[in-house]
Amino acid sequence: MATVEYRNISKSFGSVEIMRDLSLSIAEGEFAVLLGASGCGKTTLLRMTAGLETISGGELLIGGALMNEVHPRDRNIAMVFQNYALYPTMKVFDNIAFSLEIKKLPKEEIRRRVEEAAAMLNLSDYLHRYPRELSGGQRQRVAMGRAMVRDAQVFLFDEPLSNLDAKLRAHMRFEIRQLHNQVGATTIYVTHDQIEAMTMADKIVLMKGGEIEQVGAPDELYDRPVSRFAADFIGSPTMNFIEGEVVANGAAPAFAAAGIKLDLPEALSAQPGQKVTCGVRPADLVLSGSGDIEGELVLAEKTGADLNLHLTVGGADFVATAPRGVEVKPGTAVRLAIAQEKMHLFDAETGRRL
Amino acid sequence: MIVQSKAQRRVRVVTAWAVVAVFVFPLYYWITTAFKNAKEIFNLPPNVWTFEPTFRNFEEVFGISLGFFRQQEVLPGGGNFYMAPRLWDSIVVAGGSTAFAVAVATLAAYSLSRMEFKGRHAFVSWVLSTRMMPPVAVAIPLFFIYKDVGLMDSYLGIILIHTVMNLPLAVLLLKSFFDDIPKEIDESALIDGASRWRIFWRVVLPMAKGGIAATAVLCFIFSWTEFIFVLTLTQTGLKTVPVVSSSFVTSTGTAWGNMAALGVAAMVPAFIFILLVQKQLVRGLTLGSLKQ
């Protein structure tokens, strides 16, 4: 187990700079998820951590030791790749044992460690099969087993679940997280799937364009997104946004948009006339006859547990979550209420939270 | 599968067989020629299906008597058409140059596929460009070079030139096979602590077996059928089958039967070689199914 610290990391490919001055620290035993859209630099950061990509500037420290020029094999890390990267010509046992054989451990020791890992991962019956004879989930577990036997101080995962179907993915999320709880190694996990990030992470690092947008616990990102981008990225269904402006409403400010007027907290640092975007999570909207937001129902989508009501509000698309059993016909008008503390206000120009 | 009517299917089958027949017939005719005596070869209309089979052509070419098949006079070895050593020459040259070319090309292709170095892309194009040069343009200068360095008329000389001739194609072909193997597998082994050589030998090479087999087949066939270098760079020390075939054309006529016999015999080693690597060849073609 070790801490991982990035100090002013930058990365360029030729003349293209894709990352600048990125600083981040991950505590010992922490499960950190690098989250972001494709091309945001999250995989590059992970590969730099593994030593598969050179670091153009800044310092990388693992367990307090500078790693910039250290060979991947000497960093004491383990990595699980998106396509598993198993050795197809070796059986499961040899796949898991490969790194131990290189270390020239005694045969008995290798056997013991492989069998231990296999038992933990429910792979004991498959040790003598080839990777091609395994299902996607089993292959993924072999990849994890390969990482586990090494007693690495940092585990790196590069979108390990994106090749699996939805049900298996949910199951593997649980398994990986449980494994982390058992093993306790510092883990850095890359994904573009916010649900994976929300369900697994101790700490989410949301990235955008090679920079860190927000770092925090999952709840923190969900409840207090620092920007419109962060608000939009986290949560499913995604947050609703209404463009409007701040108006004076007696002593307290208010948010006004086409047909909507919502009171804002007095302490808000916004000036009347300022263009703002109001964000509301679908789950925070409540159907109420006295609600401030009026819309027309387009479609009620059943998810099983509840309903996603798709509405048009002042010409914009809007989604609200309602408990199952609510009967609303498409085409009818509905009113929605929102608690003041559930509103997220962003500057329309900078996108930053107000 | 696309649904087809019975008639459509029948047309397909008939066409397929017709195409096969067009390709196979010359081979059949050539093989039967090897078993005909001189008179029957020139019969008009030709005896395509019925003829008196004889081993005489083979006996002359290989200097052996196949008398246990048919009582007749024993031929002494070393006659004009005695070609057994030439077949051996071909096997040594093709086998040697294939082994050499594949060994060098595998290493070169792996580096070109995996390692970043300055001018890598230019290097690949340059490798390809050497293949564009017509052998005739090189043959004469090579003749003088070989004479000076003493490689003339030697196995080593011919193996070397055939290796060099096959290298560009072998490198490019193998590079594409290596390119198809996900780089993550190398990286995974790198993190596991393996050295470059170990990754190449233990991980990547076994995965590229199919590609190596396919490349070896091509190299073997190119060397087996190569004519101009062997013609210019050898005298009496060795001659391969393609070159020696021309010696059946004599002032008293062409010995078609003997030529066909040598041709048929020359098919056998190539056939065996391909048969041996065939299993790997099929693996090479289905490699994609392992990747994930």
Selected residue with higher pLDDT from A21 and B57: A21
Residues of B in contact with A44 (CB under 8 A): none
User: Model confidence over B103-143: pLDDT tens digits?
Assistant: 999 999 999 999 888 888 888 888 888 878 888 888 889 99
Task: Domain of residue B257: give its range.
Answer: 84-290
Residue among A77, A75, A97, A100 at smallest CA distance from A86: A97
A232 in a domain, yes or no? no
What are the angstrom distances between the C-alpha of A26 and each of A158, A190, B34, B91, B242?
Answer: 17, 14, 79, 64, 70
Is the pLDDT at B72 greater than 50, yes or no?
A: no
Nearest CB among A51, A73, A83 relative to B292 is that of: A83
| Rounded Cα distance, B139 and B165, in Å | 11
Sign of the torsion angle spanned by Cα atoms B267, B273, B276, B277: negative
Kindly state whether residues A199 and A241 are assigned to the same domain.
Answer: no
Is residue A79 within 8 angstroms of chain B, CB to CB?
Answer: yes
What would the two tokens of residue A258 be?
A: 């086409």
Q: Token pair 């027309």 is at which residue?
A: A296
Residues of chain A with pLDDT under 50: none
Q: Count how many Cα atoms sit within 13 Å of the Cα of residue B170 in the half-sphere of its side chain.
A: 29
A353 in a domain, yes or no? no
Highest-confidence range of A160-164, A179-183, B16-20, B70-74, by mean pLDDT? B16-20
Is residue B290 within 8 angstroms of chain A, CB to CB?
Answer: yes
pLDDT category at B74 given cuts 50, 70, 90 is very low
Is residue B189 within 8 angstroms of chain A, CB to CB?
Answer: yes
pLDDT category at B77 given cuts 50, 70, 90 is very low
Domain with A141 in it: what CATH number? 3.40.50.300
Residue B204 DSSP symbol: I
Nearest CB among A88, A99, A163 relative to B207 is that of: A88
Dihedrals phi, psi of B15, to nearest 5 degrees? -60, -45
Q: In the prediction, which pLDDT does B286 show? A: 52
Q: Which of B99-103, B129-133, B161-165 shows the lowest mean pLDDT across its residues?
A: B129-133
Is residue B237 within 8 angstroms of chain A, CB to CB?
Answer: no
Q: In the prediction, which pLDDT does B79 show? A: 55
Q: In the prediction, which pLDDT does A112 show? A: 94
Kindly state whether residues A196 and A340 are assigned to the same domain.
Answer: no
Kindly state whether residues A282 and A306 are assigned to the same domain.
Answer: yes
B52 in a domain, yes or no? no
Kindly state whether residues A18 and A131 are assigned to the same domain.
Answer: yes
CB B158 within 8 A of CB B238: yes
* Domain's final residue, options A188, A208, A227: A227
pLDDT category at B290 given cuts 50, 70, 90 is very low
Chain B: residue nearest A86 by CA? Answer: B185
A295 in a domain, yes or no? yes
B134 in a domain, yes or no? yes
A158 in a domain, yes or no? yes
CA distance to partner chain A, nearest, from residue B120 (Å) = 16
CA distance to partner chain B, nearest, from residue A242 (Å) = 43
Is residue A168 within 8 angstroms of chain B, CB to CB?
Answer: no
Contact A52 B289 (CB under 8 A): no
B64 in a domain, yes or no? no
| Rounded Cα distance, B230 and B236, in Å | 11
B137 in a domain, yes or no? yes
ipTM reported for the complex, 2 dp: 0.83
Kindly state whether residues A137 and A192 are assigned to the same domain.
Answer: yes
Kindly state whether residues A258 and A216 are assigned to the same domain.
Answer: no
Q: Token pair 């992970």 is at which residue?
A: A46
| Rounded Cα distance, B97 and A220, in Å | 67
Q: In the prediction, which pLDDT does A268 show? A: 75
Selected residue with higher pLDDT from A101 and B210: A101
Chain A: residue nearest B182 by CA? Answer: A85
Kindly state whether residues A51 and A181 are assigned to the same domain.
Answer: yes
Is residue B67 within 8 angstroms of chain A, CB to CB?
Answer: no
* Domain's final residue, options A184, A200, A227: A227
**Where do the DSSP E strands lie in chain A?**
4-13, 16-26, 31-35, 57-62, 65-66, 77-80, 154-158, 186-191, 203-208, 211-216, 240-249, 252-257, 260-263, 275-280, 285-287, 293-302, 306-313, 316-323, 333-338, 344-347
Helix (H/G/I), strand (E/B), else coil: A48 = helix
Kindly state whether residues A176 and A194 are assigned to the same domain.
Answer: yes
Is the pLDDT at B48 greater than 80, yes or no?
A: no
Kindly state whether residues A216 and A249 are assigned to the same domain.
Answer: no
Kindly state whether residues A261 and A190 are assigned to the same domain.
Answer: no
Domain with A286 in it: what CATH number? 2.40.50.140
Q: Token pair 């050589």 is at which residue?
A: B197
Kindly state whether residues A213 and A242 are assigned to the same domain.
Answer: no
Is residue A137 within 8 angstroms of chain B, CB to CB?
Answer: no
Q: In the prediction, which pLDDT does B256 show? A: 86
Contact A98 B292 (CB under 8 A): no
What are the angstrom distances between the C-alpha of B252 and each of A207, A209, A353, B249, B258?
Answer: 86, 83, 101, 8, 14
Residues facing residue B250 across a β-bridge? B253
Chain B: residue nearest A151 by CA? Answer: B192
* Domain's final residue, options A227, A255, A285: A227
A216 in a domain, yes or no? yes
Is the pLDDT at B46 greater than 80, yes or no?
A: no
Is the pLDDT at B76 greater than 70, yes or no?
A: no
A354 in a domain, yes or no? no
pLDDT category at B284 given cuts 50, 70, 90 is low
CB B48 within 8 A of CB B69: no
CB A84 within 8 A of CB A140: yes
Q: In the prediction, which pLDDT does A105 show? A: 92
A20 in a domain, yes or no? yes
Helix (H/G/I), strand (E/B), else coil: A215 = strand
Provide the number of CB pairs (under 8 Å) joining chain A to chain B.
64
CB A93 within 8 A of CB A127: yes
Is residue A102 within 8 angstroms of chain B, CB to CB?
Answer: yes
B19 in a domain, yes or no? no
**The total number of structural domains that make up chain B:** 1
Task: Domain of residue A184: give its range.
Answer: 4-227
B265 in a domain, yes or no? yes
What would the two tokens of residue A259 be?
A: 């047909």
CA distance to partner chain A, nearest, from residue B113 (Å) = 16
Q: Which amino acid is at A276?
A: V
CB A254 within 8 A of CB A264: yes
What are the angstrom distances between the C-alpha of A310 and each of A11, A111, A322, A339, B76?
Answer: 42, 57, 11, 20, 98
Q: Which of A221-235, A263-277, B82-96, B229-243 shows the lowest mean pLDDT across its residues?
A: A263-277
Q: What is the DSSP string of A101-119?
A: HHTT--HHHHHHHHHHHHH
pLDDT category at B61 given cuts 50, 70, 90 is confident
A174-177 contacts, C-beta under 8 A, 24 or more apart: A175/A141, A176/A144, A176/A200, A177/A31
Is residue B199 within 8 angstroms of chain A, CB to CB?
Answer: no
Most B CBs within 10 Å: which of A44, A52, A90, as the mutation test of the B interface?
A: A52
Q: Token pair 């299993």 is at which residue?
A: B279
Highest-confidence range of A211-220, A304-313, B44-53, B176-185, by mean pLDDT? A211-220
| Rounded Cα distance, A265 and A271, in Å | 13
Domain with B95 in it: what CATH number? 1.10.3720.10
Is residue A54 within 8 angstroms of chain B, CB to CB?
Answer: no
A218 in a domain, yes or no? yes
Contact B191 A146 (CB under 8 A): no
Chain B: residue nearest A143 by CA? Answer: B188
B25 in a domain, yes or no? no
Kindly state whether residues A214 and A322 are assigned to the same domain.
Answer: no
What is the overall mean pLDDT for chain B? 84
| Rounded Cα distance, A293 and A287, in Å | 10
pLDDT category at B255 given cuts 50, 70, 90 is confident
Is residue B207 within 8 angstroms of chain A, CB to CB?
Answer: yes
Selected residue with higher pLDDT from A79 and B48: A79
**The total number of structural domains that make up chain A:** 2
